A and B are shown apart, each in its own frame.
Chain A
């Protein structure tokens, strides 16, 4: 079991837990269950967790696949700096968020799932992982290599450059060389 990136799995779990918390909260509020205030809290907490966990981190080794439309979320999450970069902070944050969910039946599942995600984040943090934003690479301007700018001086058949150099010394063999230079300006 080589180098496993636990943070990636924790991210999927936290996103799913956020959705479960949100669903449980909506059911609790819509059904006007006893303790529906906890359900209302769960709706808000679920939305917050989903927004925080939506942008995927860049993998330390290998290609990172980003979620659709995650760029704006990446920018928002990146702006919090070390608070979101560090996984210890995330682990404790999720542990704290999940506690009030445990007081109501509708949200208890979301609470347990988020608790599991928080434990996995703790494991990731202990192993030294951190969150890296996936930013789009600037398009590299590719300059054409030098040889393309200079068009060939003589018509085909064209010997390779090494042999052409030799012909300059040998005047008879240089009969192929074009007396008028062919340049791009003409």
Chain B
């Protein structure tokens, strides 16, 4: 598929710019440290002893410092949400970049793993070189191994990395969550990794230029010749070389982001300690429960999600659910729809609802409207296409009332083309139909079979020429990939499709 430049820049440009900047920072830091250790006068003797592996190990250590500090920042979710909501970040491009924070975290994590391997390998070579060229001339340079802390760091990193692959996260999220919380042990050990003062540099370069001749030595090439007095004096050492251990630098890089992240977790804990009241529990077909809750001073906007924790089910598990009803000035309750699909949701539902009997089913009565009652000006949204794909017909009942109510309201306000509804039923055998008359707007927009996304995009493109269309995808990876590709592909209508997706894992 041919890629459209304008759409590609709109969807991928920001991410790639940040990636280039980050790669540039890493490369610059690596080269700067490498050159410092290979050409710096204060490291001359160290370099002669250990060779190239010294430079590689120090350069990779400085890159590790940078990435260990950057990796925590995208995980301060409350802070990012705050920035996203304020007017300081008013550009949509920046908001969409902030949505990609998890990807940046993964990139920094991968860099940490790769450079740890480089760092450890280089130190192994250092150890061998050190034992080979143990220097009796400069006993103060002898290194004490910070090996134990290094081995512990690699082990923790190994545990964290192996449990963070996609399949482990999808199948057993708890393993990922509990091992990833070992990060605090990792950071504490990281900050004491260099406290032993193993790395030393020479302090008296003027008095003892590296490579100078000692009092009882003469340079090899001038043996047997008449020595020029002046020249000889310059090259003589005036004093012995003095070495001093490096002040450990890692804590300078890491302590800021670590404190910020700990504050963030503390804030989340404080916020979550206030309990909420469950107002209504509604059972929908196909194992879906709607929950209406109440919490003091709770504000949320459409599109945000909440994390539910039920100590009666499990004390440490927090599960994310997108809000389907947000609190407004008239009504303070907010609601979620949750599908019973794992052990936590099963136990939670059993706590909420007694054993099902036909007469206890409560049908949804009034649904919350997210849009204002009058005054459509002031909203940049000109048209909304809602495409919903379900496997079973019963699933459409979850929001049938809301969709029909919205359709009728817009019809009354003479805006019939504002909301375009397309429902797709992907299971093509055992066809059923919605028989209720009040759901007629839905049945007439119901199509059997999977949606043909390319045709849909072409149609939307033709009717919205030279406009920006935001695509919001919530669903499995297959659909998400297809839509992403279609958003980037070339179009004769000149429409730009901006791709956004929601994912929790």
Residues of chain A having any CB pair with chain B under 8 Å: 1-5, 8-9, 12-13, 16-17, 20, 23-24, 27-28, 31, 33-34, 56, 59, 62, 65, 105-106, 108-109, 112-113, 116, 145
Binary contact readout B337-367 vs A (1 if CB under 8 angstroms, 0 otherwise): 0000011100000000000000000000000
Interface residue stretch chosen among B38-46, B94-102, B160-168: B160-168
Contact indicator B167/A56 (Cβ below 8 Å): yes
Contact indicator A113/B121 (Cβ below 8 Å): no
A2: contacting residue among B155, B161, B170, B343, CB under 8 A: B343
Least CB distance from B43 to A in Å reads 21
B117: contacting residue among A1, A13, A23, CB under 8 A: A23
Residues of B within 8 A of A33 (CB): 124, 128
Residues of A within 8 A of B174 (CB): 1, 4
Contact indicator A12/B165 (Cβ below 8 Å): yes
CA distance A112 to B152 in the complex (A): 10
Q: Say what secondary structure dominates the interface of chain B.
A: helix
Q: List 13 A-B contacts (CB under 8 A).
A: A4-B174, A4-B175, A8-B168, A9-B168, A9-B172, A12-B162, A20-B117, A23-B121, A27-B121, A56-B167, A65-B170, A105-B124, A109-B154
Contact indicator A8/B172 (Cβ below 8 Å): yes
Contact indicator A4/B117 (Cβ below 8 Å): no
Residues of chain B having any CB pair with chain A under 8 Å: 117, 120-121, 124-125, 127-128, 151, 154-155, 158-159, 161-163, 165-168, 170-172, 174-175, 314, 342-344, 429
Contact indicator A31/B151 (Cβ below 8 Å): no
Contact indicator A112/B124 (Cβ below 8 Å): no
Contact indicator B165/A2 (Cβ below 8 Å): no
> Which residue among A2, A16, A56 has the maximum number of chain B CB atoms within 10 Å of its CB?
A2
Contact indicator B162/A16 (Cβ below 8 Å): yes
CA distance A62 to B158 in the complex (A): 26
Residues of A within 8 A of B429 (CB): 145
Residues of A within 8 A of B342 (CB): 2
CA distance A38 to B165 in the complex (A): 31
Residues of A within 8 A of B161 (CB): 16
CA distance A106 to B170 in the complex (A): 34
Residues of A within 8 A of B154 (CB): 109
Residues of B within 8 A of A113 (CB): 155, 158
CA distance A62 to B168 in the complex (A): 12
A16: contacting residue among B125, B127, B158, B167, CB under 8 A: B158
Contact indicator B162/A109 (Cβ below 8 Å): no
Contact indicator B151/A13 (Cβ below 8 Å): no
CA distance A29 to B162 in the complex (A): 26
Residues of A within 8 A of B128 (CB): 31, 33-34
Residue of B nearest to A59 (CB): B171
Residue of A nearest to B316 (CB): A1
